[in-house]
Chains A and B, each alone.
Chain A
Amino acid sequence: QVQLQESGPGLVKPSQTLSLTCTVSGGSINSASYYWSWIRQAPEKGLEWIGYLYYTGSTNYNPSLNSRVTMSLDTSTNQFSLKLNSVTTADTAVYFCARGYCTTSSCQLYYFDYWGRGTRVSVSS
């Protein structure tokens, strides 16, 4: 059974960098069939896709956050990570990591089938 688990600081100061890691178990991130994604949910709000990365290291970010986001993966530890810099209170949210299934031919995303439980990050001085 595939499991994803987010980890990282629960409190970040404004203007600093938010850093989170997602540990994947029960399956390898070194696979052509999946995108590894970050999605967040501000308090009492809906879901916002932050971006995803592929096993090759290629990335695709939401343009609304593009200039502040960096994602990377580490196949040796089966983890992938998110860095969001210059955070403000608007970045306070529950951050989910998720696995996106895609077709192998062109890797068109189909759906997100496994999600972590989410980690709450507050931005406050």
Chain B
Amino acid sequence: DIVMTQSPLSLPVTPGESASISCRSSQSLLRSDGNNYLDWYLQKPGQSPQLLIYLGSNRASGVPDRFSGSGSGGSGTDFTLKISRVESEDVGVYYCMQALQTPITFGQGTRLEIK
């Protein structure tokens, strides 16, 4: 199984500041089609997860451009979700997920809270 490791697990942020979450996979998520099969989801309190970013860097429909995803160095194993100008509505648990192969696996989650 591909193991997904997120850091930090807890992220207190002052409104208006930016925040970054790291996700590392135990195997490359880069497929032969050139895509990294890495998604980011946000689970707001009491809700189901919602898609933020797919294929590493593509914002899902309706997601504010404050959210951006990237991969580093072309390794296909290191990814970052950046949230610019954090707002109170961004509170919740952020998960990365690999969609490259089954079993589909998720990171442990990063809880973002407002200071």
Spell out A's residues near B (CB within 8 Å): 46-49, 60, 62-64, 96, 100, 108-113, 115-118
Contact (Cβ within 8 A) B106 A46: yes
A88 to B31, CA, bound (A): 37
Categorize the interface residue count of chain B.
20 to 34
Label chain B's interface by main secondary structure: loop
Annotate B46-64 by CB proximity to A: 1 below 8 A, 0 otherwise.
0111110011000010000
Chain B residues near A117: list those with CB within 8 A.
47-48
Annotate B25-37 by CB proximity to A: 1 below 8 A, 0 otherwise.
0000001010001
* Segment of B14-22, B76-84, B95-103 in the binding face: B95-103
A108 to B30, CA, bound (A): 13
Q: Does B109 contact A (CB under 8 A)?
A: yes
Number of A-B contacts defined by CB within 8 Å:
58
Chain A residues near B37: list those with CB within 8 A.
108-110
Q: Does B71 contact A (CB under 8 A)?
A: no
Annotate B82-97 by CB proximity to A: 1 below 8 A, 0 otherwise.
0000000000000101
Interface residues of B in 1-25 (CB under 8 A from A): none
With beta carbons under 8 angstroms apart, the residue of A48, A60, A96 that contacts B48 is: A96
Chain B residues near A109: list those with CB within 8 A.
37, 99, 104
A-B contact pairs, 8 of them (CB 8 A): A49-B102, A62-B102, A100-B99, A109-B104, A111-B51, A111-B54, A112-B39, A113-B51
